[in-house]
Amino acid sequence: QYSLDVGSHIPDFRLETLAGSRFYMNQQQDKVVVLIFWATYCVHCKHQLNAFKAVADQYGSNRLKVAAVCIDPENSDLVRQVKQGFHLPFPILLDHQAKFFNKMGIRALPTTVVIDPVGKTAMRVKGFNPLIQQRLTDQIEFLLDKSRI
């Protein structure tokens, strides 16, 4: 099991995407990475995914990489419905049998992890509401501004 405590290094991992490609953590160097852990049955997760569309659109993918880690991808039709229904511009990563979710020691949905450009956890937040969204956005903006220096 790995630690997602603030300041801990994120282990290298790769997950298949809904589109059939692969997401490699080691290819995200020099980017701020946001991982949103969610499930198809989680209503708050869907609200958070929808809210992150604006963040992903605002900053583009050159310096910010948002990825949604689905822990119950076995029902691929439901996963596709969420992706298409919300017009999500970021990849859906498929965490079969929630192996990555469990290995990372996550217990709540949604959980969002913000990773700095050197691969360390900058923030980990459970749940979703407008205040949490603002805290996440502030942290992302801080890291993006800091990485410009």
122/111 Cα distance (integer angstroms): 14
- Prediction pTM value: 0.95
Percent of the chain with pLDDT over 70: 99
CB 17 within 8 Å of CB 92:
yes
- Tokens found for residue 49: 């995914």
63/70 Cα distance (integer angstroms): 23
Segments of 28-104 assigned E as strands: 32-38, 64-70, 92-94
Q: What is the pLDDT of residues 85-141, one digit of tens each?
A: 999 999 999 999 999 999 999 999 999 999 999 999 999 999 999 999 999 999 999
pLDDT at position 121: 96
Of 149, 138, 148, 144, whose CA–CA distance to 116 is shortest?
Answer: 144
CB 103 within 8 Å of CB 2:
yes
Averaged pLDDT for residues 31-37: 97
